[in-house]
A and B are shown apart, each in its own frame.
Chain A
Amino acid sequence: MARLLGEEFVLHGAAAERGYDCDAYTVDRSRPAVVVLPKDTEQTAQVIRYCVAHEIPYTARGAGTGLSGGVLPAMGGVVISTKRLTQILEIDIENRAMRAQAGVPNRKLSDAVKHAGLHFAPDPSSQTVSTLGGNIGENAGGPHTLKYGVTAPHILGVTMVEPGGDIVTFGGPTEGMPGFEFVGLIVGSEGTLGVVTEAWIKLTPIPTAVSTALAAFDNVRAATEAVAEIIKSGVIPAALEMMDHGILHALRLAFGLEYPAGTQALLLVECDGNDAVKVTEEMAQVASICTRLGSLSFVEATDEAARQRLWTARKKGVGAMGRIAPTVVTHDGVIPRSKLPEMLDTVYAVSAEFDIGVANIFHAGDGNLHPCFYFDDRDPDQVRRVVAAGEKVIHRCLELGGSVTGEHGIGVEKLDLMAAMFTPEDLEYQAMAKRIFSDGRLCNPCKVLPNQKSCTEHRKRWRGMAW
């Protein structure tokens, strides 16, 4: 690799192997043989052609903030880091489009066009570090996807190195062309259909009127019922997020944040638009629903500083969990929004059954649950209980008509759950989509689809390294 690209584009040795053996899902680990940091699409293609010629598996990686092991180098081999792909290549304000390299952090995309009143709408909680390429790979969500959609509708085109080593481009700055819509298939394919190196992204005007509110409830069920009622009312908030007593406890310990006495759940609601009157009306309707369901308080803010204060609990919640336990596994499942009250009851029951602490901080408006189980991963028994509890929660999501993942992806974490959600015919049909591209056995192997050749043996090794 050093001969191919030059010494400065390659990392190897024990530190590199340790640093790149997992993402933010730490239960499974697998070490790469080498890490490369190409500076452009052409260098990326050189690496992949070399891998193809020598039958070496390769896995692309952004910031490593993924939560399902999507960038775990499952069979070892080469990790292709996008750390040096950090150029914004073209900004077209008039046409509300930008072309950028895959390694640009999400937030920098928005910062680059803020002066023009535009932004890149997808806003995963990791947005200060997580990259455009990673967001594309996982079809990342975020708090504002309730109104603005996940990553997919904001990607106009991609340039990628397909698994045969060729550089190809799909889509472009003007949407909706006749013909097959490969971009929609590639976004969310977890880096298994090729390595995306550049993308055309859609820029969205920043709404001129924004109102944020924080409602406190003395029981979780009332808060989840408020969510279902808000959705049912026809108001479409920009964000509708929930935090339960577990998160509030962590926030109190970590940052000394206090909420009204007796608070068991917080709802963060944001309404936005370009018509301030309409935004005010929407928020009034949200307030009346929360009051009717017995909220302890309903604090509203429209100026930027006050709004940011209301967001503090949501933004710092997961980080604060570090004060309660050494390890946190954030699960990800989806249910129909009307089933939230029932589902939260299940989460608490499972937590009690397996004797594992749980806190909930999630995108309630989408029905996208994030139970955070906290434990000590040095204790193998606790790890086993956490895995079992997570599976039980996800199976309940399926029974309620939901999905095994709303935004974190299948990765390696949820391979076994695919067969619970899909029939063998469904999985074969989805595998056909993968066969459109060149033979993908080397391109991020063992992800998305279960039962891939020779992955079963490797799996034992991944889990073994954590214990």
Chain B
Amino acid sequence: MAGDGMVSPKTVAELSEAISSRDRIAVSGAWPFSCRDDANLSLADLTGITELQASDQVVTVLAGTHVSRLNEELAPYGLELPLRGPAFAAGYPDTLAAMLSYNLPHAHQARWGGWREWVLGLTVVLADGSVAKSGSRVVKSVAGYDSHKLMVGSEFSLTVPAEVTLRLTPTRAVEPPTLEIHSDREPVWLMRTARSDFARISAREDVVAADQATSTLWLASRPIQIDAGSWGRSLDGSGEWIPPRETRFNEAARAVFDPTGKFARAEAVVYAA
């Protein structure tokens, strides 16, 4: 086994080498691992646009690129990834790899969707170091299994995203977010409710921000009970609240993609409904 110090690959090939040569991978700078002291892989240098097809509103970009940096590069073309506003900044990760891996609600979701809609294609590095892709570089494709949809929200526990092809939005079409800011406190939890419960729940005094359009709340404290049809999670990754559901497929997915348990993952406390 190679040394276990921090490595910062600059290319997909270097990322592949880093992952295949180690028995354990913990991604640094990736929320919620940012506070981990055992991180040994940084994506900070895996940055830059590979291909911008401005007239098609599609970009392919290395996954360590910061969202804000990408949007700066896209601005001259009148294009962007519609991720702006306070709910995006507060406690959220900022690289494309981390953001798609955590798939958190954001201020423009009602109109522009989220990572599940934006990621058109994704190249990943698997636990054994092999490099593979699914999806395409066009706005519509149903060829093959959409393995990338599984990587959205997988929290770096199955593969490491290396390069991503994204659907972009014309800036002129992006309207102000539907989100309302209630206080300047730091949010520590976010929660999504059934639409029918939103008005009642958003009257809580610890609401930092609320988005009626997607029934999402950012809270300054952990709620102590959950309504049917709601889910919640802490913004440091330490806890979540989810309705009862199938878990054996989660284990099966890990067994298939990461048979040796190479990818470190934070175990969230699951609060009972």
| Chain A hits for B103, CB < 8 A | 176, 181
Write out, one digit per residue, whether chain A residues 393-410 have a CB within 8 A of any chain B CB (1) or not (0): 000000001111111111
Chain B, range 224-273, C-beta contacts under 8 Å to A: 229-231, 233, 240, 242-243, 245-246, 249-250, 252-253, 256-257, 268
B170 at the interface (CB under 8 A from A): yes
B116 touches A430 (CB 8 A): no
**Which of A95, A139, A152 lies in contact with B229, CB distance below 8 A?**
A95
A94-B195, A174-B229 as given contacts; A234 in contact with B173, CB under 8 Å: yes
The verdict on B149 contacting chain A, using a C-beta distance below 8 Å, is yes
CB of B142 within 8 A of CB of A406, answer: yes
CA distance A173 to B243 in the complex (A): 11
Q: Say which size band chain A's interface belongs to.
A: 35 or more
Cα distance, A177 to B193, chains bound together (Å): 11
Q: Are A403 and B192 in contact, with the CB atoms below 8 A? A: no
Complex-state Cα separation, A179 to B243, whole angstroms: 12
Asked if A428 is at the interface of the complex by the 8 Å CB criterion, the answer is: yes
Q: Is the CB of B192 within 8 A of A367?
A: no
Tell me, in angstroms, the Cα distance from A176 to B243 when the chains sit together: 12
Q: Is B50 in contact with chain A by the CB < 8 A criterion?
A: no
* Nearest CB in chain B: distance from A343 CB, A: 12
Q: How far is the CB of A234 from chain B (nearest CB, A)?
A: 3
Interface residues of A in 401-454 (CB under 8 A from B): 401-410, 414, 417-418, 421-423, 425-437, 448-449
Annotate B50-75 by CB proximity to A: 1 below 8 A, 0 otherwise: 00010111100000000000000000
Q: How far is the CA of A414 from the CA of B149 in the complex (A)?
A: 22
How far apart are A194's CB and chain B's nearest CB, in angstroms? 11
Instruction: Return the contact of A402 from the options B78, B138, B142, B194 (Cβ within 8 A).
Output: B138
> Is the CB–CB distance between B136 and A149 below 8 Å?
no
Asked whether A432 lies within 8 Å of B134 as measured between CB atoms, the reply is no
- Complex: A192 Cα to B153 Cα, angstroms: 23
Contact count A vs B, C-beta below 8 Å? 218
List A contacts of B130 (CB < 8 A).
425, 428-429
Rounded to whole Å, the gap between the CB of A235 and the closest CB of chain B is 8
**Residues of A contacting B49 in the complex (Cβ-Cβ under 8 angstroms):** none
A188–B250 touching, CB < 8 Å: no
B149 to chain A, nearest CB (A): 3
Contact partner of B250 among A180, A235, A336, A449, CB < 8 A?
Answer: A180
Whether B132 contacts A337 by the Cβ 8 Å rule is: no
Out of B131, B143, B173, name the residue touching A410 (CB < 8 Å): B143
CA distance A179 to B268 in the complex (A): 11
- Please determine whether A145 and B154 come into contact, CB atoms closer than 8 angstroms: no
Cβ-defined contact, A410 with B55, below 8 A:
no
Q: Is the CB of B242 within 8 A of A430?
A: no
Stretch at the interface among A33-41, A164-172, A287-295: A164-172
Q: Does A330 lie at the interface of the complex (its beta carbon under 8 Å from any beta carbon of B)?
A: no
With A149-B117, A172-B243, A234-B78 known as contacts, the answer to whether A430 contacts B196 (CB < 8 A) is: no
Contact A403 B143, beta carbon cutoff 8 Å: yes
Q: Mark B80-119, 1 if CB is under 8 A from A, else 0.
A: 0000000000000000000000010100000001101100
A153 proximal to B (CB < 8 A): yes
Distance of B129 from chain A, by nearest CB (Å): 11
B147/A174 in contact, CB under 8 A: no
Q: Which residues of B contact A235 (CB under 8 A)?
A: 170, 173
Contact with B along A195-217 (1 / 0, CB 8 A): 00000000000000000000000
Contact residues in B for A179 (Cβ distance below 8 Å): 153, 242, 245, 250
**Structural contact, A336 and B114, CB atoms closer than 8 A:** no
Chain A CB within 10 Å, residue with most, of B56, B140, B146, B150:
B140
> Is A232 interfacial (CB-CB < 8 Å)?
yes
Q: How far is the CA of A367 from the CA of B55 in the complex (A)?
A: 12
Question: Could you tell me which residues of chain A, from 130 to 148, have a CB within 8 Å of some CB in chain B?
Answer: 138-139, 141, 145
Pick from A94, A401, A431: contact of B196, CB below 8 A.
A94
A185/B147 contact (C-beta < 8 A), A149-B113, A234-B170, A403-B141 known: yes
Q: Tell me, yes or no, whether B124 is within 8 Å of chain A by CB.
A: yes
CA distance A232 to B79 in the complex (A): 10
Q: Contact check, B56 vs A336: say whether CB atoms are below 8 A apart.
A: yes
Instruction: Say whether, besides A174-B192, A436-B253, A418 and B143 are in contact (CB < 8 Å).
Output: yes
CA distance A95 to B134 in the complex (A): 33
Enumerate chain B interface residues (CB-CB to A < 8 A). 53, 55-58, 78, 103, 105, 113-114, 116-117, 124, 126, 130-134, 136-147, 149-150, 152-154, 158, 170-173, 192-196, 214-215, 229-231, 233, 240, 242-243, 245-246, 249-250, 252-253, 256-257, 268
- What is the interface of chain A, defined by CB distance below 8 A to chain B? 92, 94-96, 138-139, 141, 145, 149-150, 152-153, 168-170, 172-182, 184-185, 187-189, 228, 231-232, 234-236, 334-338, 363, 366-368, 401-410, 414, 417-418, 421-423, 425-437, 448-449
Return 17 A-B CB contacts under 8 Å, by A number. Answer: A96-B195, A175-B214, A178-B233, A182-B150, A184-B150, A185-B145, A185-B147, A334-B141, A338-B53, A338-B55, A363-B140, A367-B56, A401-B137, A403-B138, A403-B141, A422-B143, A430-B145
| Nearest 5 interchain pairs by C-beta | A184-B149, A234-B170, A429-B132, A403-B141, A430-B145
